[in-house]
Copies of this chain bind each other. A is one copy, B any other.
Amino acid sequence: MSIQITILGCGSATPTLFRNPTAQWLEIHGRFFLIDCGEGTQVEMLRYKLKMSKLKAVFISHLHGDHFFGLPGLISSMHLMGRKEKLQIIGPEGLKEILELIFKFSETSLRFPLDIIELKAGFAGPVFTGGSFAVECFPLNHRIPCFGFKFSENAKMRNLKQDMIDFYAVPVNDRKKIKAGSDFITPEGERIPNEVLCHPPSTSVSYAFCSDTAPNSDYIKYIEGVDALYHEATFENDLEQRAADTFHSTAAQAAEQARIARVKRLYLGHFSSRYRETEIILSQAKSIFPETETVKDGYSFTVE
Contacts and interface: CB of A to CB of B under 8 A. Distances in A.
Given A14-B80, A65-B76, A101-B101, A106 B39 contact: no
A15 interface: yes
Contacts of A14: 42, 76-77, 80-81
Contacts of A97: 101, 105
Given A98-B101, A101-B97, A15 B43 contact: yes
Indicate how many identical chains form the complex. Answer: 2
Contacts of A70: 39
Contacts of A17: 43, 46-47
A239 to B, nearest CB: 15
Interface centre among A39, A95, A107 (most CB of B within 10 A): A39
A106 B65 contact: yes
Contacts of A98: 98, 101-102, 105
What 6 A-B pairs are tightest by C-beta distance, nearest first?
A: A94-B105, A63-B105, A14-B77, A39-B73, A65-B76, A69-B73
Interface of A: 13-17, 39-40, 42-43, 46-47, 63-66, 69-70, 72-73, 76-77, 80-81, 92, 94-95, 97-98, 101-102, 104-107, 143-144
